[in-house]
Structure 1
Amino acid sequence: MAKRRAVTMTQVATQAGVSQATVSLVLNGADGGRVSEDTRKRVKDAVEQLGYRTNAFAKSLRSGHSGMIGFISDEVASAPFAGELLKGAQQFAWETGNVLLSVDAYDDAELEAAAVDMMLSYRVSGVIYASMYHRHVDVPKSLEALPSVVVNAQDPTGRFSSVFPDEVGGGYAATRHLLDAGHHRIAMINIQPEDSDLPAGVGRLEGYRRALEEKGLVLDPALVAYGSGIVADGFELTSRLMAAAEPPTAIFCGNDRTAWGAYRALEALGKRPGRDIAIVGFDNHDMLAPNLDPALTTVALPYEQMARQALQILLDGPGSEVRRVAVECTLVERESVMNAKVQR
Structure 2
Amino acid sequence: MTTMKEIAVKTGVSVSTVSLVLNGRDKGRVKADIAQKVKAQAKAMGYRPNPLARSLRTSHTRIIGFISEEVATTPYAGNIIVGAQEAAANLGYMLIIVSADGSYEEGKQIAALKRYGVDGFLYAKMYNRVTNVPATLSSHPVVIVNASEPTGRYSSISPNEFTIGYDATQYLLAAGCQRIAYIGDSEPILAQGKRFNGYQAALKDAGQAFRPELVTQVSRNQEAMDSVEHMIQGAHPDGFFCFNDSRSWYVYEAAARRGLHIGQDWSLVGVDNHRVFAETVAPRLTTIELPHYEMGYWATCKLISHIEHIDPSTMTLPATTAPLPPLQADGTTLIHCQLLEKESVVNH
Distance 1:165 1:47 in 2: 43
Q: Which amino acid aligns with 1:263?
A: Y
Identity of aligned residues (%): 39
Structural mapping, 1:126-205, within 5 Å: 126-193=120-187, 196=188, 198-205=189-196
Provide closer, same or farther for how the CA distance between residues 164 and 122 of structure 1 changes in structure 2, counting only shifts above 3 A. same
Paired residue for 2:215, among 206, 220, 224?
224
Distance 1:64 1:168 in 2: 43
Q: Which amino acid aligns with 1:304?
A: Y
Structural mapping, 1:17-28, within 5 Å: 17-28=12-23
Paired residue for 1:338, among 330, 336, 346?
346
SS at match of 1:82: coil
CA contact 2:88–2:301 (8 Å) conserved in 1: no
SS at match of 1:317: helix
Distance 2:25 2:110 in 1: 32
CA contact 1:234–1:262 (8 Å) conserved in 2: no
Distance 2:83 2:38 in 1: 35
CA contact 1:233–1:258 (8 Å) conserved in 2: no
Task: Give the gaps of 5 or more residues in structure 1.
Answer: 1-5
Task: Kindly indicate whether residue 34 of structure 2 is the aligned counterpart of residue 53 of structure 1.
Answer: no
Q: Give the total of aligned pairs.
A: 329
Greater alpha carbon shift after TM alignment, 31-40 vs 100-109: 31-40
Distance 1:17 1:237 in 2: 80
Task: Kindly indicate whether residue 82 of structure 2 is the aligned counterpart of residue 94 of structure 1.
Answer: no
TM-score (norm 1): 0.85
CA contact 1:103–1:115 (8 Å) conserved in 2: no
Distance 1:293 1:167 in 2: 26
Paired residue for 1:69, among 64, 73, 78?
64
Greater alpha carbon shift after TM alignment, 166-175 vs 33-42: 33-42
Matched residue, 1:323:
331
CA contact 2:146–2:157 (8 Å) conserved in 1: yes
TM-score (norm 2): 0.84
Distance 1:177 1:38 in 2: 58
SS at match of 1:158: coil
Distance 1:73 1:257 in 2: 24
Structural mapping, 1:231-242, within 5 Å: 235-242=225-232
Structural mapping, 1:111-126, within 5 Å: 111-126=105-120
CA contact 2:121–2:140 (8 Å) conserved in 1: yes
Matched residue, 2:246:
257
